[in-house]
Structure 1
Amino acid sequence: MSIYAIGDIQGCYDELQRLLEKIRFDPSKDKLWFAGDLVNRGPKSLQVLRFVKSLGDQAITVLGNHDLHLLALSQGNRSHYKYGNLKDILEAHDRQELIDWLRHRPMMAHHKKKGYSMVHAGLPPQWDLTTAMKCARELENVLRGPKFGKFCRVMYGNQPDLWSENLDGMDRLRFITNCFTRLRYCSRDGRISLNEKGAPEAQNNGAIPWFEAAGRLTKNDRIIFGHWSTLGYRQSANICCLDSGCFWGGELTALRLRKNKPAKPYQISCPIKR
């Protein structure tokens, strides 16, 4: 049995199928970890969502910002409606079944035996792994519970930008959401910087990648993430970015997770989507 982690698909169904052929995925024994952003931008988000759902327990999908965007749209939050390609899902006959399935996906995955954790975007420097998993469960309980609709209608925003265990209510939930689904950079004093999107080499304002923050409490934990196409596939120390820009004409990447050996990457080239 093999576990393969796969980067952001964003509706690129055909490319996903080619990648699964390349790794010879066998759903009877192999498992897939998806780094979030199953949907949006690409042409076949509906097909991706239906396919991953059909895998059942053979697939674990953490939620990304585009997945939450779909959930927000489903609950009437149209403040960012122009950003995306989700009409087919919202008008599908099985829309409600797909939305219910999606909102029950985790924010964070952890495999104790192999020693890997996965999030969509990042973790703030103040969280250790135990805190991160606790915060993931907090947000999951809201997404799966009676406050789901209310949360979706007010989830957008960049504040607060600094973690405190004393945060509560929507401030706490928004901070947790932004870390798991939008984080790329931190300031040197540990604040999350959500407006920064470029590659680290292009930064000149002092912002640093979240995984390079001084004193980061998860520096000794192996973390897999996506979300950052301008960073691209990168594996170093205990972090691995799997967003290699499939939608933008880059690659779609899978990583075979091994306990005592370096994770092995597999990639396919992707045409630019228009």
Structure 2
Amino acid sequence: MGANLCRIAQTAFNLLPRKVQSFARSRLAAGTISKQIATPCGLPLPSPVHATLTAEELGDGQIIVVGDVHGCPVELRALLDKCKFQQGLDKVVCVGDLVNKGEQSAEAVHLVRQIGGITVRGNHDEVALERYEMWKKCGRLDPKYHYLEQFSEEDVDYFRRMPFSLSIPSHGVLVVHAGIVPGTPLEDQLLDDLINMRHVAAEGTGNRYKALPKFPRSAGQPWANIYNGPQHVIFGHHARRRLQPCRFATGIDTGCVLGDQLSAVVLPPVSKLRSMGVTSPPTGSVTLESIGGQLVSVRAKRCYKKEDED
């Protein structure tokens, strides 16, 4: 009986417009995530929720922070080649949304895992994991997520362990999928905001801000335009704006799946920072230029999906 009700509920939810689904999730999240007891889709929290990549773990390789892959492993391979990626030496960090929209989601996940990549959780990764767990409980898989049938247990575990942020103290960098609310400590950020936000609005006095829901559309401004550090935030999620080269934040969802580019920020090894005269960790608010960050991009092979707002 319970399994049948589960199937009926999931089917009914899947028939709702996607914007309504997103709005429902965000409103449910608003009532629960502040307690940090579950992810925005009600899944168990990863451990850690906020991860750190230490200088010891980095070794003396470069760090390649890659934008939204969205099921485009061919472009990811080309980008890594252009960055002169050396497996076993360099670290690859993905800003989230490995899956959906493109045609090879499972292959993209396999590639990132094969090269030892670290991925912070994106909104599409979160929902894909939710659909996987629902499939295993209820026995029905949303056709949009057919690629989950190709997932191994290791792939699923990789998704379950995706943190919501990754700090790289040696470079003064923070990687998240969507953004952070300026002025709010990382540990107090709503997890739903970290994977879904785009705009903020002033709240009260004293330079306080709040994230705005995507649906219904609200007035506001892109959070990265007003963020002033101290960490330099590298993020994705907002393909419509393409590259966002703000002073203390860099948005690198440059619309690969939409036929544009797949981009990465390449951070130099710690030893190169020292040779540049940069203290590690850096002091003050960090710009990409101050730590020798370089933008590298490759063209998409073709347009895999028409542009939308998701």
Taking structure 1 as the reference length, what is the TM-score of the superposition? 0.72
Q: Conserved in 2, the CA contact under 8 Å of 1:244 and 1:252? A: yes
1:119 to 167, 176, 191: 176
Q: Conserved in 2, the CA contact under 8 Å of 1:224 and 1:241? A: yes
What does residue range 144-163 of structure 1 map to in structure 2 within 5 Å? none
The aligned amino acid for 1:188 is A
Q: Please give the alpha-carbon distance, in whole angstroms, between the structure 1 residues aligned to 2:97 and 2:294.
A: 22
The corresponding residue for 1:155 is none
Does residue 264 (structure 1) correspond to residue 294 (structure 2)? The answer is: yes
The aligned amino acid for 1:107 is F
The corresponding residue for 1:148 is none
The corresponding residue for 2:222 is 209
1:88 to 147, 169, 180: 147
Q: Conserved in 1, the CA contact under 8 Å of 2:69 and 2:257? A: yes
What does residue range 119-268 of structure 1 map to in structure 2 within 5 Å? 119-128=176-185, 132=186, 134=187, 176-189=190-203, 190-195=209-214, 206-213=219-226, 219-258=229-268, 259=273, 260-268=290-298
Q: Please give the alpha-carbon distance, in whole angstroms, between the structure 1 residues aligned to 2:241 and 2:222.
A: 10
Q: Please give the alpha-carbon distance, in whole angstroms, between the structure 2 residues aligned to 1:121 and 1:261.
A: 22
Q: Conserved in 2, the CA contact under 8 Å of 1:121 and 1:228? A: yes
2:75 to 5, 15, 20: 15
Q: Conserved in 2, the CA contact under 8 Å of 1:3 and 1:31? A: yes
Structure with larger Rg = 2
Tell me which protein shows more helix as a share of its residues: 2
The corresponding residue for 2:130 is 72
Ranges in structure 1 where 5+ consecutive residues have no aligned partner: 136-162, 164-175, 198-202
The structure-2 alpha-carbon separation of the partners of 1:102 and 1:62, relative to structure 1 and needing over 3 Å to count, comes to: same
Q: CA RMSD in A?
A: 2.4
Q: Conserved in 2, the CA contact under 8 Å of 1:184 and 1:196? A: no
Deviations 1:73-102 (A, max 9, x none): 012189xx87x843122x12x433311121
Identity of aligned residues (%): 26
Q: Conserved in 1, the CA contact under 8 Å of 2:171 and 2:291? A: no
The aligned amino acid for 1:34 is C
The structure-2 alpha-carbon separation of the partners of 1:196 and 1:269, relative to structure 1 and needing over 3 Å to count, comes to: farther
The structure-2 alpha-carbon separation of the partners of 1:246 and 1:10, relative to structure 1 and needing over 3 Å to count, comes to: same
Q: Secondary structure at the match of 2:99?
A: coil
Q: Please give the alpha-carbon distance, in whole angstroms, between the structure 2 residues aligned to 1:51 and 1:225.
A: 21
Q: Please give the alpha-carbon distance, in whole angstroms, between the structure 1 residues aligned to 2:255 and 2:84.
A: 22
Total equivalences in the alignment: 215
Q: Please give the alpha-carbon distance, in whole angstroms, between the structure 2 residues aligned to 1:219 and 1:112.
A: 13
Q: Conserved in 2, the CA contact under 8 Å of 1:43 and 1:85? A: no
Q: Conserved in 2, the CA contact under 8 Å of 1:13 and 1:44? A: yes
Taking structure 2 as the reference length, what is the TM-score of the superposition? 0.64
Q: Which runs of 4+ in 1 moved over 6 A?
A: none
1:105 to 146, 150, 162: 162
